[in-house]
Chain A
Amino acid sequence: MTGTAEPPVVRLRDVAKTYRVGAVEVQAVKGVSLDIPPQRFSMIVGPSGSGKTTLLNLIGCIDAPSAGGVEIDGPDAAALSDNELSDFRARNVGFIFQHFSLIPVLSAYENIEYPLLMVGTPPAERRAATLAILEEVGLADQRNQRPNQLSGGQQQRVAIARALVKQPKLVLADEPTANLDSKTGAAVIDLMQQVQARSRTTFVFSTHDPQLMSRADELFTIRDGLLVERATR
């Protein structure tokens, strides 16, 4: 039930995730089924500890479900080996993290260029794509700065550029505005929306930031590991 005519980019079927913390088993996600529509701004929302990040990790194939299946653009992630999953992520998934997670020893330019190196993009094409997206996120003048020389907003812009430079099918952003002030957060959201409108990439966020939620095309509400509501705008 995607609400659109196109097939979903991500399909979760009865996905459950259980963690073991010492002797205690914690069920972070309890049998969630959902379809993420393509080329939309989808958000997984809910209070802290509801299972948003776990769900996002499962969608991004960086965590394996304890039960159920995760299909991204066709194949079931469970059928892929660790190397195949790595290659799949390298080509198809971009990540934006709450703490930006840039590589501290690389400049803004090099951080953005890195995903292209992973997929073997030719040098000229790599350079052109990196410079173009640096321009788009407004950091052309800061391209040689290291992360510790950039503000939080600038770092998150670099992270956005890094996630998008390879033109992935799916961009996953885990609370991307959580570490930014409201003004910077709004600017970052504007930027992502602007890039999404141009690239028609599928964005999936996990957030409890009302400012960000107000921009969602699709809202999936999670509570205690269960999908309790879905809303399309």
Chain B
Amino acid sequence: MMTFKIAFRNIFRNRRRSLMTMSAIAVGGIASLIFGGYMLYTILGFQTITVQRGGHLTIFRNGYFNFGTGNPAAYGIDDYKRLLTLVREDPVLKPLIAVATPTLTVFGIAGNFDADTSKTFFGAGVVPSEQDSLRNWNGYGLGRPGRRSGLADDDPVRGVIGTGVARILGLCERLDLPNCPPAPRNRGEAGEVPDAPVLNLPAQEATARADDFPWLDLLAGTAGGAPNIVRLRVERAEYQGFKEFDDNYVGMHLDLAQQLLYGRSQPKATGIVVQLHRTDDMNVARARLLSLFGARDLDLEVRSFTELTPLYGQVIGLYASIFSFISVIMGVVVLFTVVNTMGMSVVERTNEIGTVRAMGIRRRGIRRQFLIEGSLLGAFGATAGVILAALIAYAMNNAGLVWTPPGAAQPIPLRIYLTGNMALIVGVWAGLVIVSTVASLLPAMRAAKLPIVEALRHV
């Protein structure tokens, strides 16, 4: 107790020096906390967007992840409805799962024959209402519900395309897209409609031009190898976050995608997207799924969103590197500042050290005294840093700043995720106290080693 009392009072003995030292520690804390809060908000925001789009886990037929994109139809899951029931009704998974929904990946050619243009596309067939549920995921309370898919369960021909697809296929004007130049008309005549599709033209043609929405013809090879065409009514175009994706994306009803890919054959899905209530349950859910499949000898694999979106891991890696760099720089600044302060304190108190050693304090008592002083300096500075960082975060969160995170289609509020982030706060606080304590070690050891007689002679 006396050691703490002496340490505490000594900190305030040289107020200006202690204040400067604590300021340096506080600045280190503020920098780490503000960047850490920003980093976490970004990562969690990115995770939210990713999970809203594609869930936490996706079940594929074995081999799809490595080879399926070349020929998705060949990797369709037979009897996917039974698989869905198995997943949804499993007593272990049921409380963990928010949404489990089938998806079908389609590659083909999209044509706007009104404009005499076509392009290859990448499509996803989804169950619209379940897709909208996916987009409502808000596991970190960031309050960012995704946009609704624009599809409807009762309207299988309705589709949503990327703004890039709309631009290339000359749909800017009809979809009323801003900043979207009209496609050059250098091939054929506009309005010229080609011959009827080959295999499976649904009975949509009668209503095809009965409304204001443009139509696209989607051509793809069926699982059997034959060409097939369906017609898609474009409800709207929306930016998909990445240009390459945006230039190729066509979203459609699962039924339409199945019609395109499987024609009159048995419809399949290429994946079952599983969205959990909490990301923390991902490993448990994955293990359970694999165990279910193993027990039933199902040839299926489970991939997480981090595997399916490598950018997610890269963004985390980048931020982690920057955070580590900032923390190390701040740690070194704090280290040298505290070493300097404690070193000066030892010199100033040499006679005092000699006195208490003569009175019977052991060397380790002297060491402990200075280590406690260093720790207290660190604790006061770190606490000030946490308080100031919280105030700065509050100010920034309410300043109306916005930014567009990677993969997002539109700007979102810039926030510092600090108040709900106790791990970061405790980590930075403890880190600063530890650095401060370690920095006191050298001066403390020097103080403890002082010969008593020499210390007493010091004036």
Query: B-contacting residues of A (Cβ < 8 Å)?
Result: 57, 60, 62-63, 82-83, 86-91, 93, 95, 97, 99, 101, 103-106, 110, 113-115, 117-119, 162
- Interface bin, chain B: 20 to 34
With both beta carbons as reference points, the residue of chain A lying nearest to B13 in the complex is identified as A105
Question: B6 and A95: CB pair below 8 A?
Answer: no
Instruction: Work out how many contacts link A and B, with CB atoms closer than 8 A.
Output: 72
Q: Of A63, A91, A99, A119, which one neighbours B459 at CB under 8 angstroms?
A: A99
Tell me, in angstroms, the Cα distance from A63 to B358 when the chains sit together: 10
Which residue of A87, A91, A97, A106 contacts B456 across the interface (Cβ within 8 Å)?
A97
Q: Quick check: is B17 within 8 A (CB to CB) of the other chain?
A: no
**Bound-complex Cα distance A104 to B353 (A):** 12
CA distance A105 to B18 in the complex (A): 15
A127 to B309, CA, bound (A): 70
Chain B residue numbers with a CB within 8 Å of A117 are 1-2
B352 is an interface residue with CB less than 8 A from chain A: yes
Known interface pairs A101-B351, A114-B2; A86-B456 also in contact (CB < 8 Å)? no
Neighbouring B residues of A86 by C-beta, 8 Å: 357, 360-363
What residue in chain A is nearest B451 (Cβ atoms)? Answer: A63
CB contact under 8 A between A82 and B363, given known A99-B459, A110-B2: yes
Chain B hits for A114, CB < 8 A: 2, 356, 359
User: Smallest distance from the beta carbon of B345 to chain A beta carbons, Å?
Assistant: 12
Cβ of B9 under 8 Å from chain A: yes
Most chain A beta-carbon neighbours within 10 Å: one of B6, B360, B456: B360
Docked complex Cα distance between A115 and B359 (Å): 7
Q: Which residues of chain A come closer than 8 Å to B451, judged between CB atoms?
A: 63
Q: Is the CB of B5 within 8 A of A83?
A: no
- For the complex of A and B, the 6 pairs showing the least CB-CB separation, nearest first, are A90-B360, A105-B9, A101-B355, A62-B452, A89-B360, A86-B362
Judging by beta carbons under 8 Å apart, are A115 and B360 in contact?
yes
Q: Which of A62, A89, A119 has the most CB of B within 10 A?
A: A62
A105 to B15, alpha carbons, bound, how many Å? Answer: 13
Give the distance in Å from the alpha carbon of A86 to the alpha carbon of B448 in the complex: 13
Shortest Cβ distance from residue B283 to the other chain A in the assembled complex, whole angstroms: 52
The interface residues of chain A lying within 8 Å CB-to-CB of B287 are none
Which chain B residues (1-16) contact chain A, with CB distance < 8 Å?
Answer: 1-2, 5-6, 9-10, 13
* Known contacts A57-B453, A95-B359; 20 further A-B pairs (Cβ under 8 A): A62-B358, A62-B453, A63-B453, A83-B363, A86-B357, A86-B363, A87-B362, A89-B359, A90-B359, A99-B351, A101-B351, A101-B352, A101-B355, A101-B456, A103-B6, A104-B13, A104-B352, A105-B13, A115-B360, A117-B1
Cα separation A110 to B6 with both chains bound (whole Å): 10
Q: What are the residues of chain A within 8 A of B356 when measuring CB–CB?
A: 103, 114
16 pairs from A and B in contact (CB 8 Å cutoff): A62-B452, A63-B452, A82-B363, A89-B360, A90-B360, A90-B361, A95-B359, A103-B352, A103-B355, A105-B5, A105-B6, A114-B359, A115-B360, A117-B1, A117-B2, A118-B361
* Interface residue ranges, B against A (CB under 8 Å): 1-2, 5-6, 9-10, 13, 351-352, 354-363, 451-453, 456, 459
User: What chain A residues lie within 8 Å of B357 (beta carbons)?
Assistant: 62, 86
- Distance between B356 CB and nearest chain A CB, rounded to angstroms: 7
Q: Tell me the interface secondary structure of chain B in the complex.
A: helix
Nearest B-chain residue to A146, judged by Cβ: B9
Q: In the complex, what residue of chain A is closest to B2 when comparing beta carbons? A: A117
User: Are the C-beta atoms of B351 and A118 separated by less than 8 Å?
Assistant: no
**Which residue on A lies nearest to B3, using beta carbons?**
A117
- Tell me the bound Cα distance from A117 to B453 in angstroms: 23
Smallest distance from the beta carbon of A101 to chain B beta carbons, Å? Answer: 4
Instruction: Tell me which residues across on chain A come within 8 A of B10, comparing CB atoms.
Output: 105
Determine the chain B residues whose CB is within 8 A of the CB of A162 once the complex forms.
Answer: 359
Output the least CB separation between B440 and chain A (Å). Answer: 17
Chain B residue numbers with a CB within 8 Å of A88 are 360
Separation of A97 and B2 alpha carbons in the complex (Å): 22
Q: A83–B10 Cα gap in the complex (Å)?
A: 25
State A105–B2 Cα separation when bound (angstroms). Answer: 11
Complex interface: chain B residues within 8 A of A60 (CB): 358
Q: Closest residue of chain B to A85, judged by CB?
A: B360
- List of B residues within 8 angstroms of A119 by Cβ: 360
Q: How far is the CA of A62 from the CA of B354 in the complex (A)?
A: 9
Q: Using Cβ atoms and an 8 Å threshold, which residues of chain B touch A118?
A: 359-361
- Please tell me if the beta carbons of B358 and A89 are within 8 angstroms of each other in the complex: yes
CA distance A55 to B357 in the complex (A): 18
Min CB–CB distance A104 → chain B (angstroms):
7
- Tell me which residues across on chain A come within 8 A of B6, comparing CB atoms: 103, 105-106
A87 to B13, CA, bound (A): 29
Which residues of chain A have C-beta atoms less than 8 A from B452's C-beta? 57, 62-63
Query: Counting chain B CB atoms within 10 Å of each CB, which of A93, A103, A110, A162 scores highest?
Result: A103
* Chain A residues whose CB sits within 8 angstroms of the CB of B5 once the complex forms: 105-106, 110
What separation, in Å, do the CA atoms of A103 and B359 have in the docked complex? 12
Considering only CB atoms, which chain A residue lies closest to B452 in the complex? A62
Q: How far is the CB of A86 from chain B (nearest CB, A)?
A: 5
Chain B residue nearest to A83 in the complex (CB): B362
Chain B residues within an 8 Å CB radius of A110? 2, 5
Residue of A nearest to B364 (CB): A83
B142 shortest CB reach to chain A, Å: 49
